[in-house]
Chain A
Amino acid sequence: TQLLEQSPQFLSIQEGENLTVYCNSSSVFSSLQWYRQEPGEGPVLLVTVVTGGEVKKLKRLTFQFGDARKDSSLHITAAQPGDTGLYLCAAAYSGAGSYQLTFGKGTKLSVIP
């Protein structure tokens, strides 16, 4: 079983601050997804990154896939209260278990107005 570590586990910041969430794997992954989950709801996909070194932007959110394809980061610029939620990374690996996603434990973000 591949190990996917996400940090920090909790993050509480003031509105307007920047933040970065990290996702690291013990193995090379073929792709990585970032999801956001609000209380009482299922996760919703934000982005999928596939190519090493790839950077994708979604408004104030920037997603990066490490060159070695073992890490990824999510950076939020000028956080807003609406960004509050649980952020989950999910990695896919080729070979055995290739029809599965492995989720990190999540980063619970609170943005204080």
Chain B
Amino acid sequence: NAGVTQTPKFQVLKTGQSMTLQCAQDMNHEYMSWYRQDPGMGLRLIHYSVGAGITDQGEVPNGYNVSRSTTEDFPLRLLSAAPSQTSVYFCASSYSKGRGTGFREKLFFGSGTQLSVL
């Protein structure tokens, strides 16, 4: 039972470099999302997707791109890394996107990617 798989586990970048954080789920979940977690800030939503081909911005989308070409994969791209993007990144998925009256679905989280930008 793989669940939500994130790679890499750790990454160090230099300012200006680009990279992609990978996220894959094997549960046929409709909804996928990316969060960043910073000390004292909780989890903040970066981008989310309610199905293949559909993405939308969350609370802190600047500096990040996403795409959802398949149900299973939801990669997060940093085009030009900045020190402010140093954080722990979590991918999460749920079976359903909900009914639009308030998200109440169970989120399944990956184990995170710790990213440092020097």
Contacts and interface: CB of A to CB of B under 8 A. Distances in A.
Interface in A75-113: 88, 90, 92-94, 98-106
Interface in A9-29: 9, 29
Interface string A34-45: 010000111111
B42 interface: yes
Interface range, B side: 20 to 34
Interface stretch (B12-20, B43-51, B69-77): B43-51
A42 B106 contact: no
A1 B45 CA distance: 12
B43 A45 contact: no
Interface range, A side: 20 to 34
Given A42-B110, A45-B107, A98 B42 contact: no
6 contacts: A43-B43, A45-B107, A88-B42, A98-B103, A99-B31, A104-B42
Interface of A: 1, 6, 9, 29-31, 33, 35, 40-45, 48, 50, 88, 90, 92-94, 98-106
Interface of B: 4, 31, 35, 40-45, 48, 50, 56, 58-59, 90, 92, 97-98, 100-104, 106-107, 109-112
